[in-house]
């Protein structure tokens, strides 16, 4: 007996669950706004040095003056000569090729009116600052997954969701009015942390209220709402060209979700886990009334007995050491699988965000590139609904990563005048890596033993965030050579795809429960080896 049996009587995805679930999907759109906003907030338009003879100049410059003032392919320095009228009209030749570093810059405003980059001159020797700001945002996502994850388990899903939402609103506006780089970056770091609190907690509440047969749909559909937010971010950027107003416009929709306080319930599953049966029963009864079903009284009695029994078991096991990530690394087969899973998470996160944030470097219309990059995620997610339970987790993970790697590496061979083909291959890679990213969540949960599953998924998520933290620096490599970020992402995806073949398939296989099950899963062992392993594990537990 358990809450899953309550769901069976209640209906796995009845009208009550549908209403709450779809309401919880909407905040994913705003989380996408914040995660992808950096592409436009920190957009780097074409620029050049302000020349000594200029005063209040625009970016446009006659080709003749450009050749007289700047070395070829140079934007961060100009010729150190006297810009006399005779020199500028071409009657006086240049006697030196020495250059002088810029003291100020002028920017092309044809695509972006302004950005944080143009306001604080984060170009040339200061170009690292923009990538660092995005990187610190992803550091915030990492910290938020840890902080708000702990809060969610201890204080409850609902208070954690609303605390994250309020902080997101406050610091989203603070980022928009920040007078300088440091306060802007710290505000964005906090906003990054709150995206974990808002999205992940909403995700958990949603999955805890639906039946097991609907969990794949529920998880994938919420990712689709995130992708919708991805595309809508480009719509905001199309109409709002000032970066401060854009940041405010992307933040304010979060105000709508404050009314959820009177609509969204606490997770009944969490309440039962904490022994707060009366509150849980009120929520269950409300759901049953809306779903037009009746929960038998014996179900409630059995739940009360189960909670009491769990408390007794918790008291007995309280003295035992808690499971740690080192339990996953202690035994050879489990260690090999764990390290492969960690690498897959690192690559999926790094490549996903690397491609998402690199759309400005692909050439062509940047807003169109960004919109397509978000739009391809929708069929990528839908693909999982029809294939994961039919073709297997490993096949999908390996296949999509190999497709992503191949398409991205193929950009090496595309002529520079065929930019449309480079964009097409990049979008195929984005579609494939999105499917891969969705698969790794389920595949990892089925690989780790029950006793350390939460620990394993938490550690995997932290490794993924490291990939996200490093991803912004790929944009800088793209300024050196445009295909370089795509090549790096392709090599990583292809390598990870091949290595994923070393993991065992989990479709229709029983999930490992103990460390011994996890070590034996996917490993062909002789009876004597199995007996020795069992003895080692039993000796450790004693």
The answer to whether the CB of 475 falls within 8 A of the CB of 357 is yes
The tokens for 305 are: 């007995």
The answer to whether 1-45+126-320 and 327-542 have equal CATH topology is yes
Neighbour count for residue 95 (Cβ, 10 Å): 9
Triad 62, 68, 71: Cα angle to 5°: 110
Instruction: Give me the residues paired with residue 106 across strands.
Output: 48
What CATH topology corresponds to 327-542? Growth Hormone; Chain: A; (1.20.1250)
Start-to-end C-alpha separation, the chain? 30
Rounded to 10 degrees, what is the CA torsion of 409, 412, 417, 418? Answer: -30
Query: At the top level of CATH, which class does the domain 1-45+126-320 belong to?
Result: mainly alpha
**Which residue ranges make up each domain of the chain?**
1-45+126-320, 47-108, 327-542
Instruction: Give me the residues paired with residue 47 across strands.
Output: 107
The answer to whether the CB of 450 falls within 8 A of the CB of 333 is no
Digitized pLDDT (tens) for each residue of the chain, 542 residues in all: 467 778 888 888 899 999 999 999 999 999 999 999 999 999 998 898 888 888 767 888 888 888 888 888 788 898 888 888 888 887 788 878 888 888 889 999 888 889 999 999 999 889 899 999 999 999 999 999 888 888 888 888 899 999 999 999 999 999 999 999 999 999 999 999 999 889 888 888 888 888 878 888 888 888 899 999 999 999 999 999 999 999 999 999 999 999 999 999 998 888 887 888 889 889 989 999 999 988 888 887 777 777 777 667 666 665 566 667 777 888 888 899 999 999 999 999 999 999 998 888 887 788 999 999 999 999 999 998 888 888 988 999 999 999 999 999 999 988 888 888 999 999 999 999 999 998 988 888 788 887 777 678 888 888 999 999 999 998 888 777 878 899 999 999 999 999 999 999 888 787 787 788 888 887 764 444 445 445 545 554 43
Q: How far is residue 26 CA from its own chain's centroid?
A: 17
266: DSSP letter: P
Instruction: Report CA-CA distances (Å) from 278 to 20, 268, 304.
Output: 21, 10, 10
Count, residues in the chain: 542
The tokens for 327 are: 């339990």
Separation between Cα atoms, residue 170 and residue 246, nearest integer Å: 15
The answer to whether the CB of 103 falls within 8 A of the CB of 76 is no
| Residue 48 phi, psi (nearest 5) | -155, 165
Neighbour count for residue 428 (Cβ, 10 Å): 17
Neighbour count for residue 530 (Cβ, 10 Å): 14
The answer to whether the CB of 440 falls within 8 A of the CB of 344 is yes
One-letter-per-residue 3-state SS of 311-367: HHHHHHHCCCCCCCCHHHHCCHHHHHHHHHHHHHHHHHHHHHHHHHHCHHHCCCCHH
Separation between Cα atoms, residue 173 and residue 140, nearest integer Å: 17
Separation between Cα atoms, residue 354 and residue 351, nearest integer Å: 5
73: DSSP letter: T
H or E, element range at 106:
strand 105-107
107: three-class secondary structure by DSSP: strand
H or E, element range at 452:
none
| Residue 510 phi, psi (nearest 5) | -65, 135
Please provide the DSSP assignment of 380-433 as one string.
HHHHHHHHHHHH-HHHHHHHHHHHHHHHHHGGGGS-TT-HHHHHHHHHHHHHHH
Q: Which of 131, 381, 168, 137 is nearest to 257 (CA)?
A: 168
């Amino acid at each position: 007996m358990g809450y899953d049996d309550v769901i069976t009587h209640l209906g796995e995805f009845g009208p009550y669950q549908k209403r709450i679930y779809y309401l919880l999907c909407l905040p994913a759109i705003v989380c996408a706004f914040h995660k992808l906003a950096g592409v436009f907030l920190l957009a780097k338009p074409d620029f050049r040095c302000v020349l000594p003879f200029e005063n209040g100049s625009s970016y446009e410059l006659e080709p003749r003056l450009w050749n007289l003032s700047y070395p070829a392919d140079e934007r961060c320095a100009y010729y150190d000569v006297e810009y006399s009228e005779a020199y500028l009209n071409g009657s006086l030749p240049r006697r030196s090729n020495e250059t002088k570093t810029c003291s100020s810059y002028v920017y092309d405003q044809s695509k972006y009116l302004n950005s944080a980059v143009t306001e604080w001159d984060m170009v040339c020797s200061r170009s690292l600052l923009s990538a660092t700001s995005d990187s610190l945002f992803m550091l915030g996502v990492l910290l938020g997954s840890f902080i708000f994850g702990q809060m969610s388990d201890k204080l409850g899903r609902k208070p954690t969701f609303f605390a994250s939402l309020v902080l997101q609103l406050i610091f989203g506006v603070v980022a928009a009015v920040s007078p300088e780089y440091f306060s802007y970056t710290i505000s964005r770091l906090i906003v990054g942390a709150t995206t974990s609190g808002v999205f992940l907690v909403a995700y958990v509440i949603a999955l805890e209220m639906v039946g097991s047969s609907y969990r794949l749909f529920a998880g994938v559909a919420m990712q689709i709402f995130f992708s919708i937010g991805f595309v809508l971010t480009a719509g905001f950027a199309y109409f709002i060209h000032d970066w401060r107003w854009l940041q405010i416009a992307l933040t304010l929709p979060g105000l709508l979700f404050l009314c959820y306080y009177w609509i969204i319930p606490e997770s009944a599953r969490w309440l039962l886990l904490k022994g707060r049966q009366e509150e849980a029963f009120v929520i269950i009864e409300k759901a049953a009334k809306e779903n037009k079903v009746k929960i038998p009284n014996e179900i409630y009695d059995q739940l009360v007995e189960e909670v009491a029994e769990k408390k007794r078991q918790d008291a007995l096991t309280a003295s035992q050491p808690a499971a740690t990530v080192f339990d996953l690394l202690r035994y050879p087969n489990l260690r090999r699988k764990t390290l492969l899973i960690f690498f897959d998470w690192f690559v999926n996160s790094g490549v996903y965000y690397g491609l998402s944030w690199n759309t400005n470097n692909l050439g062509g219309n940047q807003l169109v590139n960004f919109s397509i990059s978000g739009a391809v995620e929708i069929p990528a997610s839908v693909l999982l609904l029809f294939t994961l339970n039919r073709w297997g987790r490993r096949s999908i993970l390996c296949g999509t990563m190999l497709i992503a790697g191949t398409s991205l590496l193929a950009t090496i061979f595309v002529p520079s005048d065929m930019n449309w083909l480079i964009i097409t291959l990049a979008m195929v890679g984005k579609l494939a890596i999105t499917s891969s990213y969705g698969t790794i969540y389920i595949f990892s949960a089925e690989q780790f033993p029950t006793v350390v599953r939460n620990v394993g998924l938490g550690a995997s998520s932290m490794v993924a965030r490291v990939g996200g933290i490093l991803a912004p620096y790929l944009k800088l490599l793209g300024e050196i050579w445009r295909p370089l970020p795509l090549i790096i992402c392709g090599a990583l995806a292809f390598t990870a795809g091949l290595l994923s073949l070393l993991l065992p398939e989990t479709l229709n296989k029983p999930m490992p429960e103990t460390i011994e099950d996890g070590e034996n899963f996917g490993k062909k062992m002789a009876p004597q080896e199995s007996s020795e392993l069992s003895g080692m594990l039993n000796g450790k537990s004693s």
